[in-house]
Amino acid sequence: MEKNKIKIGLIGLGTVGSGVYKTLQNFENVEITKIAVRNKNKKRNIEGLDESIITEDPYEVVNDPEIQIVAELIGGLNPALDLIETAIKNGKHIVTANKELLAKHGEELFKFAEANNKVVLYEAAIAGGIPLIMPIKTILAGNKINKIKAILNGTTNYILTKMDMQGASYEDVLKEAQELGYAEADPTGDVEGFDAAYKITTLATIAFGKRIKIENVYREGITKIRAQDMQAANEMGYKIKLIASAELNKEGKADVRVHPMLVPISQTLAHINYVTNAVSLSGHPVGDVTLSGPGAGEFPTASSVVGDILAIASEIGKTDYLLPMMRCHHSENAQTIDISETENKYYLSITAQNSIGVIGRIGKACEENNISLASIVQKEVSSNNAAIITVITELCKEKDMQNVINILNNDKAITKVNSLIRVQI
């Protein structure tokens, strides 16, 4: 007698949805019985796709009494949140790749799922094909994780890698990335750090066991990074990367942020190039662990979605309380540290007049704000008597560094503060 197949509904048949559909055809214990799409007439590169199961109404999926697992793969907040809540209300378990939804509405979503005794899995929402959430909740469950450093956005990492390799400007590389399909026509979500901020919010929440609020995550994108900064970083033994970081201090307060950093070439993340993602976790007793791989794409992301679907499918009918380790158990919000109170090292690029005492004035501004300098170098003097001065500071408070920037911006001998980038310690 043939075992009953677990019925699956898909919402979305784009890049990831197509990969999920193709991959699930290899498994005999599950069956996709309904798929919601925006446009039924769109041509799709899927062999053997049964057109009769496709609908343009996603509520047909979440209201179908036979479907047991719904995979939401459309992203965004609306209608995704209502569709997921409707599906849960109708007794369905959820798999999602929706990082924005989790970052902004994760708390209410997980509480609603628990109240209805349903599971929400989201491995694909953080780093595409890299397994993170299940390892943290299972294999690494005995660890106290206190630090995360990660590259979580392939588009920005591709742009920064090409800028580094080619010595090209941000604008030129962005245009090339858009032509190749690595960057959206409107790249704001990626290049301004929103995507990475959503991901580190959820990842830090899971790793620290306390809820991180997205509004408390500092975010800064890559649009101000210049080819000259790349060159200077290389000369000093660094690579510039968009780093999503989260750290617990000794008092248990969380410092969670996304911004460009100069990463020492001795560190693993300095060598993660193009669209590859990587996550470095530090904890006790494991020490340091780095996981890297494809952070997006049809099959890498489908790998995580399908893994979640099969994990749920394997439990259905065997227990009344599925996957207890994978459920949300957070009961408190993390206390967070404002960026102004954080301590960092800084790289500073300044254009100034080539006149006596300019370097001394920069040093004095730093001294008055409790900042020691690791190095200060005047690189060149142009035909218009302008000098490029590069500064690396020792560890200091962000608010003190911002005071220095204000002083320099109002100094007539300083033409421009070109760049301020934090340095990974």
What residues are labeled active site? 199
Q: How far apart are CA 218 and CA 261, in angstroms?
A: 14
SS (H, E, C) 226-255: CHHHHHHHHHHCEEEEEEEEEEECCCCCEE
Return phi, psi of residue 218, to 5°: -70, 140
Q: How far apart are CA 270 and CA 239, in angstroms?
A: 6
Contact 334, 211 (CB under 8 A): yes
The number of angstroms, rounded, from the C-alpha of 277 to the middle of its chain's C-alpha atoms is 9
Q: How far apart are CA 107 and CA 368, in angstroms?
A: 44
HSE (side-chain half, CA atoms, 13 Å) at 275: 13
**Encoded tokens for 377:** 């170098």
Q: Give residue for tokens 């039924």.
A: 40
Counting every residue, how long is the chain?
Answer: 425
Q: How far apart are CA 277 and CA 34, in angstroms?
A: 32
Q: Which helix (H) or strand (E) holds 146?
A: strand 144-151
